[in-house]
Amino acid sequence: MEKLVRDLTLILLYLTSWQEDVAFGVARRSWKGYPFETLDVLAEEGLIDGSRRAKSVWLTEAGEEAARRLLAQYGLASRDHPEKDDRVVCLPERKRKEQPPR
Assess if residue 52 is contained within a domain.
yes
pLDDT in tens, 40-86: 999 999 999 988 888 999 999 999 999 999 999 988 874 443 444 44
Assess if residue 101 is contained within a domain.
no
pLDDT at 1 over 90: no
What residues form DSSP beta bridges with 49? Answer: 58
When divided into structural domains, the chain yields a total of: 1
Assess if residue 90 is contained within a domain.
no
Closest CA to 69 of 57, 55, 60, 81: 81
Q: Is the pTM of this model over 0.85?
A: no
- CATH number of the domain where residue 65 is located: 1.10.10.10
